[in-house]
């Protein structure tokens, strides 16, 4: 069984650099631990938790283009073990990714989990569909609720994926993640404040305005 992601990523020039750095022997017969051409439950849970990702495409002039895609958590949908889809929301009206993918359907996605220092890399071919081309798929990828104008659907056919090591990923946290992390502290603080107020009332302690508090 070949290791699909490296089969795509490792080219003659990549092998030349590996040899120059003395690490080519690590990858000559590398097969990986499991197939990388279909998503498992592990990838499904990871993808469903993401609210953004980065997508690279290549223009007709050979220049790469990397775009950030964001939306509500889970906006990148796992249709089946080899298919992803997401809504293309109206943005800055440049349509660079859409244009690139119309000429060359190959794309690479990076999905990041900064708090857990994990990243999932995905090679895929992208098909661009109109919203009325597949009503069931349109219903699946339509955000509820999310104030954005849907213009088209990007359907991705998986070629290979790979997990990166956590080195050099700086943990970062969203506002929602921070709020959830400090929620127990806030709840404990509220309970202590209520308990303190009750004790002061029982003892008849006067506040600064002379009222019993």
What pLDDT is stored for residue 44 in this prediction? 96
Burial readout 78-97 (b: 16 or more C-beta within 10 A, e: otherwise):
beeeebbbbbbbebeeeeeb
Residue 74 region by backbone torsions, left for phi larger than 0, else alpha for psi between -120 and 50, else beta: left
| pLDDT by 10-residue block (mean), the chain, 213 residues | 77 92 83 77 96 96 95 94 94 91 97 93 96 92 82 95 87 86 88 87 69 54
Domain boundaries defined on the chain: 1-33, 35-164, 173-207
CATH superfamily of 35-164: Electron Transport, Fmn-binding Protein; Chain A (2.30.110.10)
CB 57 within 8 A of CB 65: yes
Q: What is residue 31's predicted lDDT score, i.e. its pLDDT?
A: 66
pTM comes to 0.81
> Cβ distance 208 to 197 under 8 Å?
no
- Residue 210's pLDDT is what? 57
């Amino acid at each position: 069984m070949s290791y699909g992601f490296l089969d795509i990523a490792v080219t003659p020039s990549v092998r030349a650099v590996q040899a120059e750095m003395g690490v080519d022997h690590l990858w000559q017969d590398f097969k990986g631990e499991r197939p990388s051409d279909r998503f498992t439950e592990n990838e499904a849970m990871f993808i469903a938790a993401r609210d953004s990702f980065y997508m690279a495409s290549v223009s007709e002039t050979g220049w790469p283009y990397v775009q950030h895609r964001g939306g509500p958590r889970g906006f990148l949908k796992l249709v089946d073990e080899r298919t992803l889809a997401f809504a293309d929301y109206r943005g800055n009206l440049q349509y660079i990714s859409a244009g690139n993918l119309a000429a060359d359907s190959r794309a690479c996605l990076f999905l990041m989990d900064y708090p857990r220092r994990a990243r999932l890399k995905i090679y895929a071919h992208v098909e661009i569909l109109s919203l009325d081309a597949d009503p069931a798929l349109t219903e699946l990828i339509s955000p509820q609720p999310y104030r954005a104008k849907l213009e088209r659907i990007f359907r991705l056919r998986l070629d290979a994926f790979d997990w990166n090591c956590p080195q050099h990923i700086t943990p970062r946290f969203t506002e929602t993640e921070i709020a959830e992390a400090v929620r127990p502290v806030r709840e404990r603080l509220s309970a202590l404040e209520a308990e303190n107020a009750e004790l002061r009332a029982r003892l008849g302690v006067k506040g600064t305005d002379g009222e019993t508090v």
